[in-house]
Amino acid sequence: MAASTGKSFAGRFGAHIAVLVFVVIWTIPTLGILVSSLRDKDQIVASGWWNSFASSSQSEAGRLPAASAQTQKDGKYVIEGNIFGDGPKRDISAFGVKSSAPTQYKAGTVAELNDGATLQMNADGTFVLSSAKAFEGDRGQRVYYASSAPPKFTTDNYDAVLFSEGIGRSFMNSLTVTIPATIIPILIAAFAAYALAWMRFPGRALLIAVIIGLLVVPLQMSLIPLLKLYNGVGTFFGVPSKTYLGIWLAHTGFGLPFAIYLLRSYIAGLPREIMESARIDGASDFEIFVKIVLPLSFPVLASFAIFQFLWVWNDLLVAMVFLGTAPDQIVLTAKLNALLGSRGGNWEILTTSAFITIIVPLIVFFSLQRYFVRGLLAGSVKGG
Amino acid sequence: MATQIFSAIFVIIIGVGGCVAYFWGANKLLDLVFPSRGVSGAAAVDNLRRQGLVRPWLFVGPAMIILTIYLIYPVIETLRLSFLDRGGENFVGLANYEWALGDHDFRNSILNNVLWLAVVPAACTFLGLIIAVLTDKIWWGTIAKSLIFLPLAISFVGASVIWKFIYEYRGEGQVQIGLLNAIIQYFGGQPQVWISLPFWNNFFLMIILVWIQTGFAMVILSSALRGIPEETLEAAVIDGANPFQIFWKIMVPQIWGTIAVVWTTITILVLKVFDIVLTMTNGQWNSQVLANLMFDWMFRGGGDFGRGATIAIIIMIAVIPIMVWNIRQANKETGGH
């Protein structure tokens, strides 16, 4: 029967596999920067992060000591030592003396050099260079070798990024921007939403329509006039035009239409009887709002708070326009963008910084996912 | 650091406290000016009526003022600025719009935006729908959904770094540390500089947004799928429909409205996409989009507000149909209420 294919073993199995593929594709990118941020910075460029649990091998070049280090042994001139010197030891798998063939000889074997000299290099880095003739010159023999290092995980990158790259400071700046920019719109929107839902006054319907219209106005429409306005206000009062107060109000303005829309549709759905019995008991609108509506609206307030928090924390555009780029104002997203320009190839810095910027949203997201999803559903199924 | 923490806490208290103080204080003041308690009956009724006239405005007042300053005034002002010169002083008529039509970057941005609009909402909705259907069938679906949903919490800049690492390019024959090139090289292909490949680089940027937004589409559509009455599915099974028929002929038509909402929501987002292009290519290699071009003109060479405003207006024009549709829908809802 055709109908049973959906419930057949093969069908079920297919669904598991398909979902697994999606999950892997969606998770791997984030996993990549998490793993990389914990790796030693030399290993990040030496091998892909997916190899991070295996030893990483890399090609290196070094120079043997100059002729002045030679000693005479059995009638031969010999230079001995360890290629790693006093530095960290690695395992050498192969070596060579020409850049075109850097791994010509296996470790432990003897290589014949041009002028009758021989070079033996062992896996632990010790070498013996010997020749019948005396070595000359003050530059030693160039050697190439492939070495492998055991996997190494470290939190050094986090130390470096937090304290010397300025990410720690930016983290504080982001919090300074985000917390008030989340709370202020909630307060303002909650009062407005209550008035729009339960109070009668002229122009109410028009106001609701305007707010729904404003829901989709692109942020880009506001940027230039507000930039001019802020600059004007700054010059007029002789104050800086890029301030935390300025960006709080900007985020409040941009978040308000959605906040009012979301809260109004929830508050309008609260049971009328509760409001009316409170009113009969002599409660004013203010009392009803504070004592009844606010506590009952907790779920929707939480939903909006998470939205606004994530949006403000993740915002780059508003921060770049309304805040400065000095260390005392630059937020995480802007800092990360700046690092992409200045430290483009330093993946240990970039992956670690990126992970620090996404860690807070991830925690908020995982701990409050229920409210987040609820807000998402309420916000988009009805409006958009 | 410590001083900043303290000053941050201080300003937070001032900002939030100021808000609370306004609502509480304004309300108290109203009660004092028009007392309803402790006065004679007629006066109390009169004062209550007056309170009822004033109080709504105390409640919506702050919201109206902020919305006016931050959204309504700027919309009008941007429209005006688009007819003015770079400093916003002299009237230049339609010169900015004429410039836009002839400008290479602008044409390129329009083209790319159209490409983004054609691909991203469709890809997100389609993938989201498929994942929603599949995860509903399996016992670990909730966990799977959480993981696919997760990128939605990540900033566009963070996501750009994540994907830039995947697209990372090293010369041929070297160890590839970017996942994509490593896979290509493993199968014997040529590693590529993905984000500078003409035309195709747009798609590599779009993948980032699809990666972020699919979770959104999935959650909304998943909840809509649950709302489908069981009977319709059972009836289809009894009539001998196969899973594909059930999906296309029974499920999809019933959640058509939700699909439209998801589609339009992502469409608006795509029109505003900025961070991804800025951080990945900054519009180089013909990957420019309108929002990034506008940002560019706001600050390039001291800023050209006329041209910047013109680009903003173009974005706005694309949004207006959705806006009108939204207001109509909402009116219908409240009309029946």
Q: What is the pLDDT of residue B45?
A: 82
Residues B262/B128, Cβ–Cβ less than 8 Å: yes
In the predicted model, what is the mean pLDDT of chain B? Answer: 87
Q: What is the pLDDT of residue B272?
A: 87
Residues of B in contact with A284 (CB under 8 A): 27, 31, 36, 51
Q: Kindly state the percentage of chain A with pLDDT values over 70.
A: 94
Say which residue the tokens 């290993």 belong to.
Answer: A43
Q: What is the pLDDT of residue A85?
A: 77
CB contact A376 to B (< 8 Å): yes
pLDDT in tens, B29-54: 888 888 877 777 788 888 878 888 88
Nearest CA in chain A to B279: A337
Residues of A in contact with B78 (CB under 8 A): 221-222, 224-225
Nearest CA in chain B to A245: B15
Rounded average pLDDT over A182-190: 91
- DSSP secondary structure code for residue A97 in this structure: S
Compute φ and ψ for A78, nearest 5 degrees. -130, 140
Closest CA to A371 of A296, A299, A308, A295: A299
Residues of B in contact with A214 (CB under 8 A): 67, 71-72
Q: What b/e string do you get for B90-119 counting C-beta neighbours within 10 Å, with b at 16 or more?
A: eebeeebeeebeeeebbebbbebbeebbeb
> A295 CA to chain B: closest CA distance, Å?
16
pLDDT in tens, A216-245: 888 888 999 999 899 999 899 888 888 888
In the predicted model, what is the mean pLDDT of chain A? Answer: 84
Spatial separation of the C-alpha atoms in residues A188 and A170, rounded to whole Å: 28
pLDDT in tens, A123-150: 888 888 888 888 877 777 888 888 777 7
Compute φ and ψ for A117, nearest 5 degrees. -80, 155
Chain A from 276 to 335: CB within 8 A of any B CB: 284-286, 289, 310, 313-317, 320-321, 328, 333
Q: Which residues contact A383 (CB under 8 A, 6 or more apart)?
A: A212, A215, A261, B326, B329, B330
pLDDT in tens, A293-339: 899 998 889 889 988 999 999 999 999 999 988 888 899 999 999 98
Spatial separation of the C-alpha atoms in residues B269 and A303, rounded to whole Å: 20
pLDDT in tens, B200-216: 999 999 999 999 999 99
Residue B333 is inside which H or E element, if any? Answer: helix B305-336
Say which residue the tokens 């929107």 belong to.
Answer: A189
What dihedral do alpha carbons A30, A31, A36, A37 form, nearest 10°? 70
* Residue A213, CA atoms < 13 Å, CB-side half-sphere: 16
Does residue A5 register a pLDDT over 50? Answer: no
Do the chains contact at A172 and B8, CB–CB below 8 Å?
A: yes
Q: Kindly state the percentage of chain A with pLDDT values over 90.
A: 21
Q: Which residues contact B257 (CB under 8 A, 6 or more apart)?
A: none
Residues B139/B315, Cβ–Cβ less than 8 Å: no
Domain chopping of chain A, boundaries: 2-52, 56-149, 158-382
Q: Which residues contact B293 (CB under 8 A, 6 or more apart)?
A: B105, B106, B109, B283, B311
Q: What is the pLDDT of residue A10?
A: 67
Query: Which of the four pLDDT bands, split at 50, 70 and 90, describes residue A20?
Result: very high
Q: What is the pLDDT of residue B73?
A: 94
Residue A119 is inside which H or E element, if any? Answer: strand A118-121
Do the chains contact at A222 and B298, CB–CB below 8 Å?
A: no
- Top CATH class, A158-382: mainly alpha
Does residue A166 register a pLDDT over 80? Answer: yes
Residues of chain B with pLDDT under 50: 336-337
Closest CA to B279 of B163, B197, B157: B157
**Positive or negative, the Cα torsion across B91, B96, B98, B102?**
positive
Identity of the residue in A33, A188, A208 whose CB atom sits nearest the CB atom of B66: A188
> B260 CA to chain A: closest CA distance, Å?
10
Beta-carbon contacts below 8 Å between A and B: 361
Do the chains contact at A213 and B327, CB–CB below 8 Å?
A: yes
Q: What is the pLDDT of residue A376?
A: 78
Closest CA to A268 of A372, A196, A338: A196
Q: What is the pLDDT of residue A3?
A: 39
Residues A343/A349, Cβ–Cβ less than 8 Å: yes
Chain A from 110 to 149: CB within 8 A of any B CB: none
> A380 CA to chain B: closest CA distance, Å?
7
Joined tokens for residue B263? 């589609």
Beta sheet of A105-106, edge-to-edge order? A56-63, A142-149, A91-96, A105-106
Joined tokens for residue A375? 């807000």
pLDDT in tens, B246-262: 888 888 888 888 898 88
Does residue A113 register a pLDDT over 50? Answer: yes
Joined tokens for residue B258? 């939700």
Joined tokens for residue B318? 């694309």
Identity of residue B127: L
Closest CA to B56 of A211, A191, A288, A207: A191
Identity of residue B179: L
What dihedral do alpha carbons A315, A320, A326, A328 form, nearest 10°? -30
Does residue A41 register a pLDDT over 90? Answer: no
Residues A5/B242, Cβ–Cβ less than 8 Å: yes
What's the Cα-to-Cα distance from B71 to each of A151, A223, B31, B75, B83, rounded to whole Å?
54, 10, 32, 6, 19
CB contact A169 to B (< 8 Å): yes
pLDDT in tens, A77-103: 888 888 877 767 777 888 888 877 777
